[in-house]
Structure 1
Amino acid sequence: MRGRHATDALLEALHDTPAVYLQGARQTGKSTLVRAVAERQHPAQYLTLDTAAVLDAALNDPEGFVAGLERPVVIDEVQRAPALALAIKAAVDSDRHPGQFLLTGSASVMSLPALSDSLAGRMELHTLWPFSRGELAGVRETFVDRVFAERLVTPDTVPNTEKSLVERMCTGGYPEIQTRRSHARRQAWFDSYVDAILQRDVRELANIERLSELPRLLALLASRAGELLNFADLARTLGIPQTTLKRYMTLMEMTFLVRLLPAWFSNLGKRLAKAPKLLLTDTGLLTHLIEADASRLRRDRTLLGHVLENFVAMELIKQLGWSRPRCRLFHFRTESGAEVDLVLEDRAGRLVGVEVKSAATVRQQDFRGLETLARLTGDRFARGVVLCTGTTVVPFGRNLFALPVSQLWA
């Protein structure tokens, strides 16, 4: 089993919190991780609601099911029996010892109001994404820590060739896909994966009458990864009402197929764009949906830029789960067109801007968006970096640097 960087945070939560919920898309390794934790660091009984008999018992008598459990206990795929939430709440209220319940779900806790509301103040939430690049390489990434440090440290790395970087983006981070050596076998896995989520998970979350529209929507969203979300344009393209589209989008988010990156804005006296940016949660899935293999990405530099930006954004989102600075990730765009692909903001309000370029050479003009952000935010601006496919760290002014993208997983 490959090490998962989420393990330490999960164990810390189990040490002082009665219930812990690990959410994430199907096939990201949640079951593997919690079973390993239950067998080693936090001994616990393991049950999964993917087993028919266990699910039947949980649905028919939630209170009796929970009362009969030997605790600590892991309950896998808990979203399949939402009524368990009140029973777990009652159990926790009568015994507040930490680490009693480790729950997993392939749907966002926000889609399970019975769980999130009933266990408010009693449950800690964690998200498991597909493997990060560092997890696959056996490295614990420190990029977020380093860009917020007083002095930027850039460890020696083995720079990726563009070919290997593109291959990695096309493969993605799902654990199962790592064993598929051919492009055809990876595509077959992604086909089955998307079908399973749209046919099972979405159907369990909501009564969708026109389920056949969801694959079209997902493919359209993939083609617009990295762009600002425009509901009116998407609805017009699909020929469906905006109300229906927004309901479908919520389901895509709840099942961790897409992620909306919010716009950064503050009371700066400037007009800033506030629409979120659209991301696919895995670039292997993204390239599958737009039918782009590695050779096409290397030929189409514009498309490569969109996929690389999505890749960097998701790598940063993963790293936020274990980095020391507690940060949030945004994008930045003014209505006059100045933009920064990604903006990290820590709890003190300090900002680090990140631009992504699918080129080996960086020029001063590539820092224009970062310079605009620095000018507008003053002392809050800590640093700006341009991640590129080059191999050299180059300073471009005070707190402005061009870095190889390989620094992301150093």
Structure 2
Amino acid sequence: MHNINPTKGQKLGHTYIKRSLEPIIKRAASEFPAVVLTGPRQSGKTTLLKHLFSKQYQYVSLEPPDVRISAKEDPRAFLEMYPSPVIFDEIQNAPDLLPYIKEKIDADRSRAGQYLLTGSQNILLIQQVTESLAGRTAILRLLPFSQREIEAQPDRSLPWDAESPPDYSRKYSYQKLWEGFIRGYYPEPNVQTRRDTNLWHASYVQTYLERDVRTLRQVGDLSQFQSFLRALAARSAQLLNLTDIARDLGIAVNTAKAWLSILEATYQVIVLRPYFANVGKRLVKTPKIYFTDAGTLCYLVGLKDPAHAASGPMGGAIMETVVISEIIKTLTHQGVQPQTYFWRTTAGTEVDLIVDTGERLVPIEVKLSATLHPAMAAAIKTFQKDFGDAAGPGYIIHPGDTALPLGANVSALPLLEL
């Protein structure tokens, strides 16, 4: 039985930060024969599974080459050596196991929680899992920490779902807020707070490039791919023009598209697409790009100082990244597939984020200024007017500590009350 490197995940001594996904994954393990937990490297997948299931399950990492070879050469013998219930970590390293896991499950189809699998590559892994384990597995995603998890409030609802209003009495340090943005939301730099944040992100990006990108085989020149990463970071929160980026870097547009799909498949970026509805206005079709983690974004654009980050040209993009990723992480960790978009007319009216709850469309604007005034709500009011009853209450999210109504059906909320 193979143990993980003790620094993997978010465990340090007896520190464990409770995750919002815990009740969802426990329920899935009680209902399905297999559960697949995906997400970026270092998001805490291993730590979460070991925290919840280590007493009943043995743990096997499929990263060491000898284990991988053993699983590949004689999968049936390997599964006999590690009988269920078992956690197989980084299953994408041994995809040949999946048909044999299916065979084991089918021998005792009614028994839930036989196999818990983790993986950090979305497209390939999900394709392999759905081919081999269709109908036998729940697929869940674990992203880096949300702010509510860091604040030990993993079950806190989003404002439009909350039964009672948030507590606005707390005061926040602007400096600490931006220090947190630069640190990012991966477990390790948040638990090991004395770590050099910049060094951690440098190591993460390098490791990510070497492991995941090489595995997906579409990248010949890693240094050019790193330039592509930085070019994307510089255009964060903007309409994404891959033709311009490809021209600037001297690569083919199809190469840029393939590289973007790698970043999306490995959970490094969020591609936010425009919301379409027939309201008589022609909407732009180009998506916007955000990094999943604000710390990764800050590292790639060379920001280490909170004051420079807040006041520099990337300040608005960083703030948008934090808000959008917080909402997506919160929904994802509820076991929901987030339906998130932006809205922009050809006339230039734009709402940063639209959350489709299934019952209504929630418009959200992100502002870098904590000085609030009614004009901030103009785009949201336009959206609400165009969409009528389909539009829900709107929110202006800002970095201050004041909550105010900014007109009918629009509220300004502090970021940390999101």
Structure-2-length-normalised TM-score? 0.90
Alignment partner for residue 375 of structure 2, among 332, 350, 365? 365
1:19 is matched by which residue type in structure 2? A
- 1:47 & 1:303 partners in 2: Cα distance? 42
CA distance 1:170–1:21, change in 2 (3 Å): same
What is the match of residue 248 of structure 2? 237
What is the match of residue 405 of structure 2? 395
Measure how far apart 1:9 and its partner are: 0.8
Moved more, 386-395 or 171-180: 171-180
Measure how far apart 1:308 and its partner are: 0.5
Helix, strand or coil: the match of 2:274?
A: coil
- 1:72 & 1:194 partners in 2: Cα distance? 34
- 2:218 & 2:409 partners in 1: Cα distance? 51
Measure how far apart 1:391 and its partner are: 2.1
Helix, strand or coil: the match of 1:209?
A: coil
Measure how far apart 1:37 and its partner are: 1.8
Measure how far apart 1:109 and its partner are: 4.5
CA distance 1:281–1:157, change in 2 (3 Å): farther
Measure how far apart 1:93 and its partner are: 2.7
1:132 is matched by which residue type in structure 2? S
Asked if the contact 1:111–1:254 (Cα under 8 Å) also holds between the matched residues in 2, the reply is no
Alignment partner for residue 70 of structure 1, among 74, 83, 89? 83
Moved more, 4-13 or 262-271: 262-271
What is the match of residue 5 of structure 2? none
CA distance 1:291–1:351, change in 2 (3 Å): same
What is the match of residue 351 of structure 1? 361
Cα shift readout 1:191-215 (whole Å, capped 9, x = no counterpart): 1111111112211222532222111
Cα shift readout 1:143-176 (whole Å, capped 9, x = no counterpart): 42x3146x77232342322211111101111122
Helix, strand or coil: the match of 2:95?
A: coil
Cα shift readout 1:84-105 (whole Å, capped 9, x = no counterpart): 2222222223322211111001
Asked if the contact 1:110–1:116 (Cα under 8 Å) also holds between the matched residues in 2, the reply is no
Please give the residue correspondences for 1:237-386 in structure 2 after superposition, counting only pairs within 5 Å. 237-293=248-304, 294-300=306-312, 302-323=313-334, 327-348=338-359, 350-386=360-396
- The alignment covers a number of residue pairs equal to 401
- 1:324 & 1:246 partners in 2: Cα distance? 28
- 2:213 & 2:126 partners in 1: Cα distance? 13
CA distance 1:335–1:58, change in 2 (3 Å): same
Cα shift readout 1:16-70 (whole Å, capped 9, x = no counterpart): 0111111111111111111112224xx1121110233321111212343235431
Say whether residues 1:48 and 2:58 are aligned partners.
Answer: no
1:24 is matched by which residue type in structure 2? G
What is the match of residue 173 of structure 1? 185
Asked if the contact 2:34–2:112 (Cα under 8 Å) also holds between the matched residues in 1, the reply is yes
Say whether residues 1:27 and 2:34 are aligned partners.
Answer: no
Helix, strand or coil: the match of 1:262?
A: strand
Measure how far apart 1:112 and its partner are: 4.8
Measure how far apart 1:135 and its partner are: 1.4
Moved more, 116-125 or 331-340: 116-125
- 1:219 & 1:370 partners in 2: Cα distance? 31
Measure how far apart 1:107 and its partner are: 1.1
- 1:324 & 1:159 partners in 2: Cα distance? 31
Stretches of structure 1 that go unaligned for 5 or more consecutive residues are none
- 2:281 & 2:228 partners in 1: Cα distance? 34
Measure how far apart 1:325 and its partner are: 8.2
Stretches of structure 2 that go unaligned for 5 or more consecutive residues are 1-15
1:176 is matched by which residue type in structure 2? E
Tell me how large the CA RMSD over aligned residues is: 2.0
2:46 is matched by which residue type in structure 1? S
Alignment partner for residue 84 of structure 1, among 91, 97, 107? 97
Helix, strand or coil: the match of 1:403?
A: strand
Cα shift readout 1:186-237 (whole Å, capped 9, x = no counterpart): 2111111111111122112225322221111111111111112211111111
CA distance 1:352–1:159, change in 2 (3 Å): farther
Moved more, 26-35 or 325-334: 325-334
Structure-1-length-normalised TM-score? 0.92
- 1:111 & 1:221 partners in 2: Cα distance? 25
Alignment partner for residue 115 of structure 1, among 121, 129, 150? 129
- 1:182 & 1:69 partners in 2: Cα distance? 38
- 1:18 & 1:73 partners in 2: Cα distance? 11
Cα shift readout 1:89-139 (whole Å, capped 9, x = no counterpart): 222233222111110011114555222322222221111111111211211
Alignment partner for residue 132 of structure 1, among 127, 146, 160? 146
- Percent of counterpart pairs with the same letter? 34
CA distance 1:325–1:383, change in 2 (3 Å): farther
